């Protein structure tokens, strides 16, 4: 559906309305005036003929050239005398071509005039005729005793010229008025449409999340009030967003603190118990004492891993992007896992896209993310399972699929997979997937997980070709 701007909706109706008023109404008026003037013109000519007849201004039984010239000079009309068989006996018309002379009887509509006279009570009949490309208002007077027609032909050229001049004048005035109306309408509509366009642009910026923008209030009318209301709404949205962000940060920090406290509580409790035992039991065998110290060191190592994972997740990392091929990077990670895969009798299937184009990415960060995904897959696979690694690309990006035939993930857990410190594994930190997701998003990509309990899991990593 075609979309019209407010400016067009304002300008076009004004132009159409004024075009109708300026063009149609004057033309109708001119046509009515032309008709009335023609009637008056004919009535005036008829009165002239009546005066000529009633005063015996000329002799109709013997109309001579001097009489016709006398009428032409006195009234400014052409005089034509027609016999009973519609033959032109005499006329004051001049300058006609041979063709016009031969068609003069038909051009003057003599037969129609006689029939109209016979069908009416009057001896006078008026008709418009064209002779030699010139229009005439003709009055026919029947001389019964001679069966002749006396025709007074009054030229209509002056009326036509006047009508033409008036029409051209009106059309010129109409064109000027329409231009002025268009200009005024354009200025009015622009005055209305410009702040509306600015307001629409402002709302689009707000919709894109640019809540720091402010719409300028240039008018003191309803549109200005609307802009002010939008500014107030944007301010309220900005305040609400800041409050929401602050609340989310506090909630995230609280959740992470609780998870971290839970993560280190068990090893701390074990370390405290072992330390108390070492202090109280002085006669503890050396082997038992060394074993307890080893347990304490393992607990410290576990806490150190949790702290390191939390720091990696929390602190912003700067990517060092280098244009390189992806397949060799993935192969390096798989080479490190080769012995572990063989130990657990896991079959590795690689389907690397040989035409994968080089693109910009951080080698170490992507290796870290891919290693976390592969380790999770290996831990989920029972002995004798299969781990399949696939790479592919399209016009927009590169995809890495890690497919395992492990135990799968329960549906209620899938929504929480990327939550920090969430894990179902006894020795897990719950930060591997969170860090992998963060690394992918820093590259402008994403990560998706599809899993069916008892059948396996597919983790899809997508990276843009930048």
Contact (CB, 8 A) for 151 and 80: yes
| CA 372 remoteness from chain centre | 46
131, 93 Cβ separation under 8 angstroms: yes
Radius of gyration of the chain (CA): 53
What is the predicted pLDDT for the residue at 403? 93
Distance set, CA 57 to CA 78, 118, 170 (Å): 16, 25, 43
Residue 249: other Cβ atoms inside 10 A:
10
Token readout for 209 is: 């999340």
Residue 462 has pLDDT above 90, yes or no: yes
pLDDT level of residue 250 (50, 70, 90 thresholds): low
At residue 392, the 3 state secondary structure works out as strand
Q: Which of 145-159, 222-236, 448-462 has the highest mean pLDDT?
A: 448-462
Q: Is the pLDDT of residue 225 over 80?
A: no
* pLDDT > 70? residue 205: yes
pLDDT band at 353 (very low <50, low <70, confident <90, very high): very high
Architecture of domain 322-464: 2-Layer Sandwich (3.30)
CATH 3.30.450.20 in the chain is located at 6-164
Arch. (CATH architecture) of 6-164: 2-Layer Sandwich (3.30)
In angstroms, the Cα distances linking 58 to 49, 93, 124, 150 are 11, 19, 17, 12
- With a pLDDT cut of 70, the percent of the chain lying above it is 79
pLDDT at 436 over 80: yes
Average pLDDT over residues 409-435: 72
CATH for 222-314, options being 2.40.50.140, 1.10.287.130, 3.90.1300.10, 1.10.10.10 = 1.10.287.130
Q: Which of 256-270, 366-380, 419-433, 448-462 has the highest mean pLDDT?
A: 448-462
The reported pLDDT for the residue numbered 315 is 63
Q: Which residues pair with 150 in a beta bridge?
A: 81, 141
Residue 56 clears pLDDT 90, i.e. is over it: no
Would the pLDDT of 1 be above 60?
no
Mean pLDDT of 99-113: 88
Question: Which of 184-198, 335-349, 415-429 is predicted most confidently?
Answer: 335-349
Q: Token pair of 97, please?
A: 């071509």
Burial class (CB in 10 A: 0-12, 13-18, 19+), 413: middle
Where exactly does CATH 1.10.287.130 map onto the chain?
Answer: 222-314
Q: If you average pLDDT over every residue of the chain, what do you get? A: 78
Q: For residue range 116-128, list pLDDT tens digits in order.
A: 888 877 777 888 8
252 vs 46: CA distance, rounded Å = 107
Q: Which two tokens stand for residue 417?
A: 């997979």
* The predicted structure's pLDDT at residue 165: 82
Q: 58, 59, 51, 113: which is closest to 82 by C-alpha? A: 113
> Which is more confidently placed, 102 or 231?
102
> At what angle are helices 326-336 and 363-380 packed, to 10 degrees?
50
For the segment 195-220, the average pLDDT, to the nearest whole number, is 72
């Amino acid at each position: 559906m075609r979309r019209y701007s407010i400016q067009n909706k304002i300008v076009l109706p004004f132009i159409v309305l004024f075009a109708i008023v300026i063009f149609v109404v004057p033309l109708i008026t001119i046509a009515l005036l032309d008709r009335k003037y023609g009637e008056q013109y004919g009535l005036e000519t008829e009165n002239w003929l009546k005066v000529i007849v009633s005063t015996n201004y000329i002799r109709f039984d013997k109309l001579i050239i001097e009489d016709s010239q006398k009428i032409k000079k006195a009234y400014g009309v052409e005089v034509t005398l027609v016999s009973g068989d519609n033959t032109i006996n005499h006329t004051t018309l001049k300058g006609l071509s041979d063709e016009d002379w031969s068609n003069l009887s038909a051009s003057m509509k003599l037969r129609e005039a006689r029939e109209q006279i016979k069908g009416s009570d009057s001896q006078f009949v008026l008709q418009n005729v064209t002779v030699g490309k010139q229009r005439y208002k003709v009055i026919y007077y029947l001389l019964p005793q001679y069966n002749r027609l006396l025709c007074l032909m009054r030229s209509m050229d002056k009326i036509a010229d006047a009508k033409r001049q008036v029409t051209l004048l009106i059309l010129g005035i109409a064109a000027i008025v329409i231009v002025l109306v268009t200009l005024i309408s354009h200025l009015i509509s622009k005055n209305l449409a410009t702040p509306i366009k600015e307001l629409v642009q402002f709302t689009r910026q707000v919709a894109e999340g640019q809540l720091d923008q402010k719409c300028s209030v240039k008018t003191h009318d309803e549109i200005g009030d609307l802009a002010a209301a939008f500014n107030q709404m944007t301010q309220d949205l900005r305040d609400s967003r800041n409050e929401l962000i602050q609340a989310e940060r506090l909630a995230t920090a609280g959740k992470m603190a609780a998870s971290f406290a839970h993560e280190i509580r068990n090893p701390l409790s074990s370390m405290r118990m072992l330390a108390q035992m070492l202090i109280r039991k002085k006669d503890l065998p050396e082997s038992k004492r060394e074993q307890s110290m080893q347990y304490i060191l393992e607990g410290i190592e576990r806490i150190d891993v949790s702290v390191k994972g939390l720091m990696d997740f929390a602190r912003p990392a700067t990517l060092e992007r280098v244009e390189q091929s992806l397949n060799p990077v993935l192969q390096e990670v798989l080479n490190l896992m080769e012995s572990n895969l063989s130990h657990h009798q896991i079959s590795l299937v690689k389907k690397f896209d040989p035409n994968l184009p080089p693109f910009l990415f951080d080698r170490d960060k992507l290796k870290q993310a891919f290693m976390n995904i592969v380790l999770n897959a290996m831990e989920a696979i029972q002995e004798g399972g299969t781990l399949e690694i696939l790479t592919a690309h399209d016009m927009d990006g590169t995809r890495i699929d890690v497919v395992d035939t492990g135990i799968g993930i329960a549906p209620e857990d899938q929504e929480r997979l990327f939550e920090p410190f969430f894990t179902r594994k006894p020795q897990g930190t719950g930060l591997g997937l969170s860090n992998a997701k963060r690394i992918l998003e820093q590259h402008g990509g994403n990560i998706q997980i599809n899993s069916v309990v008892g059948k396996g899991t597919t983790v899809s990593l997508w990276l843009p070709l930048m």
